[in-house]
């Protein structure tokens, strides 16, 4: 049975008291008759001192149970680099709970020089390094702040389904075969978009979710392959200004609370129209920092009034600039219904930009089934396809739908920027590799013949090259 544990961080308050510590060997220094060991748990590091016979044979990353007495270090031996630097533990008993092989890499430095695929293969070791542990802890604190702030502002946190329907929302879907309805497929959600709009029809009025989303898109440093986490929220009886103001207040206060070392260059966040951004900065994701060498400067801004449609040259058709549920400006509705001036129509759409990265996007939604149907038609959907893919939403809108709008903010990307990391993978516990393989477990993998048979799936023979 394990003795009652004292976390390492609490030893500073237990001078002259006996404690039981548990943790990993961070380093061993043999000084002849005495051996000094740095013991590490998630709360910190402390120096152990003990007789050679007692501590002999210990190696880095062994997991130990230590019984000993906390004592003050001599003034000349205080270590100001660690929080427990004024104390040490004189070891009375040691028990090796688990041994460790030699690690494939060092876990005490920042690890940025190590091959990323090797780090991801042994991610459970990579997460032992202080930088990665800090990233995960800060992530937790940021999400905790967001959740508590929204709940205090009368939002309801509601989970929406992961197994859902494939709909043409932009990216490729991840499909999941159904065992009970052979030949049919679920899709993992690219976003909770339709469900949160249905929640507005249900009268929820203020919804949010820390949502897992799935898109089969090509990876890059600022975009994770496969899955990502977003703050998803929706409100009824609001306009664009309400959503922008609420989002701005939320992230400003989050930065102040969780990232106090950061400074926001301009408040309120600057607002640029899409045309202004393109004309002045040649991009719809302008980096407005005054000093781009200042790693603590945050330049948030809004880009608004996007085109409703964009022309897909290779497909010879218009597509929604954001998604098909985005409402047009009132002045553009007549032209939309008449299918006129489609390239000039403006949308009630807005993007949130941070230091030159798009970190969020949202819009006021269409609530008129006729207008929504016109958008689908412009995108090239036949009436049959509209009914098949979106009939459930159009039907819901026949039962009293409130004006509503919302936003989705990419938490992985925001945290990457706020923690000055070069890649999203540095702020995610178990990210995908650049080639789309999961860390440690190496998915995707093959399925057994029995599993495929249950699903009614037959393997196609591989073509000879």
Measured distance CA(11)–CA(19) in Å, rounded:
8
Residues 6+ apart with CB under 8 A from 223: 217, 413, 424
Measured distance CA(326)–CA(321) in Å, rounded:
9
Measured distance CA(465)–CA(462) in Å, rounded:
9
- 3-state class of 91 per DSSP? strand
Measured distance CA(66)–CA(442) in Å, rounded:
36
Measured distance CA(385)–CA(102) in Å, rounded:
58
Pair 93, 80: CB distance under 8 Å:
no
Following DSSP, what letter does each residue of 284-350 receive, concatenated?
A: SS----S-TT-TTEE-EEEEE--BSEEEETTTTEEEESS-TTBPBPGGGHHHHHTT-SGGG-BBSEE
Question: Which residues define the annotated binding site for L-aspartate?
Answer: 169, 215, 322, 365
User: In degrees, to the nearest 5, what angle opens at C-alpha 275 toward C-alphas 270 and 277?
Assistant: 45
Structure tokens at 421: 């990391």
> DSSP secondary-structure letter at 164?
B
Question: Which residues define the annotated binding site?
Answer: 169, 215-217, 322, 358, 365, 410-413
- 3-state class of 451 per DSSP? helix
Question: Which residues define the annotated binding site for ATP?
Answer: 215-217, 358, 410-413
Pair 262, 300: CB distance under 8 Å:
no
Check residue 73 and give left, alpha or beta (phi > 0: left; psi -120 to 50: alpha): beta
Residues 6+ apart with CB under 8 A from 242: 235
Q: Which of these, 344, 349, 286, 340, lies nearest to 322 by C-alpha position?
A: 349
Per DSSP, helices labelled H in 8-81 are 52-55
Going by their DSSP bridges, the two strands 87-98 and 63-72 should be labelled as: antiparallel
């Amino acid at each position: 049975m394990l003795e009652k544990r004292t976390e390492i961080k609490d030893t500073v308050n237990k001078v002259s008291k006996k404690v039981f510590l548990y943790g990993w060997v961070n380093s061993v220094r043999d000084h002849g008759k005495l051996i000094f060991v740095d013991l590490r748990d998630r709360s910190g590091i402390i120096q152990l001192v003990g007789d050679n016979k007692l501590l002999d044979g210990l190696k880095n990353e062994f997991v130990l149970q230590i019984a000993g007495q906390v004592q003050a270090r001599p003034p000349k031996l205080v270590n100001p680099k660690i929080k427990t630097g004024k104390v040490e533990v004189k070891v009375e008993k040691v028990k090796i709970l688990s041994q460790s092989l030699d690690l494939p890499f060092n876990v005490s430095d920042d690890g940025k020089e190590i091959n990323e695929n090797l780090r991801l293969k042994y991610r459970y070791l990579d997460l032992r390094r202080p930088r990665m542990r800090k990233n995960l802890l800060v992530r937790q604190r940021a999400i905790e702040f967001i959740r508590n702030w929204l709940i205090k502002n009368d939002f309801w946190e509601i989970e929406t389904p992961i197994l859902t329907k494939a709909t043409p929302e932009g990216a490729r879907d991840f499909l999941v075969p159904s065992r009970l309805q052979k030949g049919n497929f679920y899709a993992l959600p690219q976003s909770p978009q339709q469900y949160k709009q249905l929640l507005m029809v249900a009268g929820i009025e203020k919804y949010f979710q820390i949502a897992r989303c799935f898109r089969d898109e090509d990876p890059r440093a600022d975009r994770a392959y496969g899955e990502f986490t977003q703050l998803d929220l929706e409100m009824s009886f609001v306009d664009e200004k309400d959503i922008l103001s609420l989002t701005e207040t939320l992230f400003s206060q989050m930065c102040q609370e969780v990232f106090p070392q950061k400074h926001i260059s301009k408040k309120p966040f600057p607002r640029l129209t899409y045309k202004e951004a393109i004309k002045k900065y040649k991009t719809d994701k302008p980096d407005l920092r005054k000093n781009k060498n200042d790693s603590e400067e945050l330049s948030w801004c809004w880009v608004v009034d996007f085109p409703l449609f964009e022309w897909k040259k290779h497909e010879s058709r218009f597509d929604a600039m954001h998604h098909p549920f985005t409402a047009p400006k009132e002045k553009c509705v007549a032209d939309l219904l008449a299918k006129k001036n489609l390239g000039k129509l403006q949308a009630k759409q807005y993007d949130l930009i941070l230091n030159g990265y798009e970190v969020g996007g949202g819009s006021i939604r269409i609530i008129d089934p006729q207008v929504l149907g016109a958008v689908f038609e412009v995108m090239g959907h036949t009436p049959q396809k509209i009914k098949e893919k979106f009939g459930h939403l159009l039907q819901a809108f026949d039962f009293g739908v409130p004006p509503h709008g919302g936003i989705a903010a990419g938490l992985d990307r925001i945290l990457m920027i706020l923690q000055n990391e070069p890649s999203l993978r540095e702020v995610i516990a178990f990210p995908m590799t650049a080639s789309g393989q999961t860390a440690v477990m190496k998915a995707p993998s093959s399925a057994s013949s029995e599993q495929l048979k249950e699903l009614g799936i037959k393997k196609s023979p591989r073509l000879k090259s």
